[in-house]
Amino acid sequence: MEETIKDPPTSAVLLDHCHFSQVIFNSVEKFYIPGGDVTCHYTFTQHFIPRRKDWIGIFRVGWKTTREYYTFMWVTLPIDLNNKSAKQQEVQFKAYYLPKDDEYYQFCYVDEDGVVRGASIPFQFRPENEEDILVVTTQFWPTACLSYGEVEEI
């Protein structure tokens, strides 16, 4: 019979001795639009070995212990860590469980001992602002219907 765990392992974080660079978070957006699921992409570094009770949490920036997670997802262990593609992983957070404010958050990879092995850059959950929208314009030359012989050089 497999044991059931509701809460992930947590610990205090000693900032003078960190292992934050053993898991790298990739393609982290500056912000995520509320109401949508968020996919978290991460990569294991060469010598890091994930374990069964490792997890990824979303933490408000400024957290002091791993008990301060907002939400978390258990990681899926790769079948073959020697395979290069196995080092690139992802986990999806469902919209329902994500923060509803516009504070800054970050992803953190926490191992089964409660030690943080990776932390992402900060991001927010907020609607798109007009200044975030990129508008591309192209030069437009009006055309006219001309009969053969009426075309002049411009």
The tens place of each residue's pLDDT in the chain, 154 residues long, gives 444 556 776 655 554 445 668 999 999 999 999 999 999 999 999 889 999 999 999 999 999 999 999 999 999 998 877 777 678 899 999 999 999 999 999 999 999 999 999 999 999 999 987 665 565 666 655 555 555 555 555 4
Q: Where are the domains of the chain?
A: 23-127
Q: Say which amino acid occupies 122.
A: P
Residue 24 has which token pair?
Answer: 């790298």
Residue 127 has which token pair?
Answer: 């609607």
Spell out the CATH class of 23-127: mainly beta
pTM here is: 0.73
Give the Cα separation of 154 and 151 in Å (integer).
Answer: 9
| Rg (the chain; Cα; Å) | 23
